[in-house]
Structure 1
Amino acid sequence: MSASASAGGLARFLDSDLWYSFTRSPVVVLSAVVALSMIGAAILAPWIAPHDPFNLATLDLLDAFTPPAWDAEGDPRYLLGTDDQGRDVLSTIMHGARISLFVGFCSVVFAMTLGVTIGLIAGYVGGTTDAVLMRIADIKLTFPAILIALLVDGLVRAALPRELHDRIALWVVIFAIGISNWVPFARTVRGSTMVEKNKEYVMAARVIGLSSARIMRSHVLPNVMGPVLVIATLQLGFAILAEATLSFLGVGVPPTQPSLGTLIRIGNDFLFSGEWWITVFPGMTLAVMVLSVNLLGDWLRDALNPKLR
């Protein structure tokens, strides 16, 4: 029964307007292929990377600053060359993308959870609660997200010992980026909730005695998640860029867990001395990753907008 139901669901999806819109756009298909390939390479990095950049026993400083393999002085073992510590650039990019994607995904989930919760409460309860929560959102919008993330990271660094901060630095960055980006979710969900709460199915739920929390969770929330998923896709690219910016400034993930931003910062020190590949290839990876995710987000926004059909 479940197998036939799954097959039926797949058949309906392949016959849907969403799938038709996806297959009719070569740019979107290419973006999906690129994004999935980079995500797959990042997830499988510990198993498919040519070298282990974190295994000090395999590193040799004599291999430092080796150009890419196609250069006359290159080494076939290092396709994209090596950095100042003799680490394979391709392997460090794969592991760095893994950290960047993890931070981006977790921060978006945190921002989405916080924003959706606040938006549901503000839109459903209304009145003073709505006014207070939305004024907090308005105040948040007056500060750039990067500035808030820097402030949060600075406060944590000042409050915690350095050893403890280094251990939780990854989660501090996730919290800092997430707390900076909950407002779009909250405002969107609030508007949709104010529309949904006046519909008949919500009124019927009230009549039969369901609590407000259950109505919001079981009835209103599923009907406002469409726009939320679009925002989450678009915010993922921004979160990856925000993490790269923080790491480039030296306040992101610790050097022992280098992300793409950390790799770009390290390579930037050697850019004008001729070792361009150390920073160019991580930078290109970051740009292509964010561009492909944003293109998918733009397509999803247009595909789910009934006014554009």
Structure 2
Amino acid sequence: MTDTPRRRAILRQLRSHPTVKGSVIALVALLAIVLLAPFLAPQNPYDLANLDLMDGRLAPGSASMDGFRYWLGTDNQGRDMLSAILYGLRISLTVGLSAVALATVIGSLVGLVAAYAGGLIDTLLMRLVDFILGFPTILVALVLLAMLGRGVDKVVIAIVVVQWAHYARIMRSRALQERR
């Protein structure tokens, strides 16, 4: 516990840094947009009853047949692009946060087991990590998606499979430092 004052000083510096403040503000704004998307979006892009093919491919800022203004235009089926972006942001943020959370948990567990077990278990787990890190991440994720099929859950699984090894290596090194 000797470095607790040092950690407090680092946290104090981070809180006063303008880049950290800007990042936190941007993250809070994105989360607010994601949570309020059903209220902010002019149209539900998943509701087929709202589609009007007569409003297809309208330019940004154009008005629809019923007088509604599409600030980012429409696609070829008459869906509002702003609404599609707001609803798509919800899916993207869900996939990103859940994949990072799962990869962190799995990688941390593997790293801790490797650091504290030592010996043969450490060697085997770290060779597995080296094996996974030896392949291009995007290529492995795309191959996994081709094998698993379509779906948000499959995307999360593919990202977790290719990312957990990074967290395992970091956690193992930190656990070895604390063990010594």
| Corresponding residue number in structure 2 for 1:38 | 30
Aligned partner (choices 24, 35, 45) of residue 17 of structure 2? 24
In structure 2, the CA distance between the partners of 1:149 and 1:24, relative to structure 1 (3 Å rule), is: closer
Aligned pair count? 169
Matched, 1:182 2:164: yes
Deviation at 1:42, TM superposition (A): 1.5
Distance between the aligned counterparts of 2:23 and 2:77, measured in 1?
A: 33
Q: Which has the higher contact order (CA 8 A, sep 6+)?
A: 1
Deviation at 1:48, TM superposition (A): 2.4
What SS does structure 1 have at the residue aligned with 2:130?
helix
Structure 2 residue identity aligned to 1:182? W
Deviation at 1:36, TM superposition (A): 1.7
In structure 2, the CA distance between the partners of 1:43 and 1:24, relative to structure 1 (3 Å rule), is: same
Distance between the aligned counterparts of 1:39 and 1:84, measured in 2?
A: 29
| Corresponding residue number in structure 2 for 1:213 | none
For structure 1, the 5+ residue unaligned runs are: 1-14, 158-165, 199-309
**Percent of counterpart pairs with the same letter?**
38
Conserved? CA contact 2:14–2:20, under 8 Å: no
Distance between the aligned counterparts of 1:17 and 1:125, measured in 2?
A: 32
Structure 2 residue identity aligned to 1:171? D
In structure 2, the CA distance between the partners of 1:24 and 1:111, relative to structure 1 (3 Å rule), is: closer
Q: TM-score, normalised to structure 2's length?
A: 0.86
Matched, 1:118 2:110: yes
Distance between the aligned counterparts of 2:17 and 2:113, measured in 1?
A: 39
Q: TM-score, normalised to structure 1's length?
A: 0.52
| RMSD across aligned positions (CA) | 1.8
Distance between the aligned counterparts of 2:175 and 2:160, measured in 1?
A: 22
Distance between the aligned counterparts of 2:43 and 2:86, measured in 1?
A: 10
| Corresponding residue number in structure 2 for 1:137 | 129
Aligned partner (choices 129, 147, 165) of residue 155 of structure 1? 147
Aligned partner (choices 18, 36, 40) of residue 48 of structure 1? 40
| Corresponding residue number in structure 2 for 1:61 | 53
In structure 2, the CA distance between the partners of 1:40 and 1:135, relative to structure 1 (3 Å rule), is: same
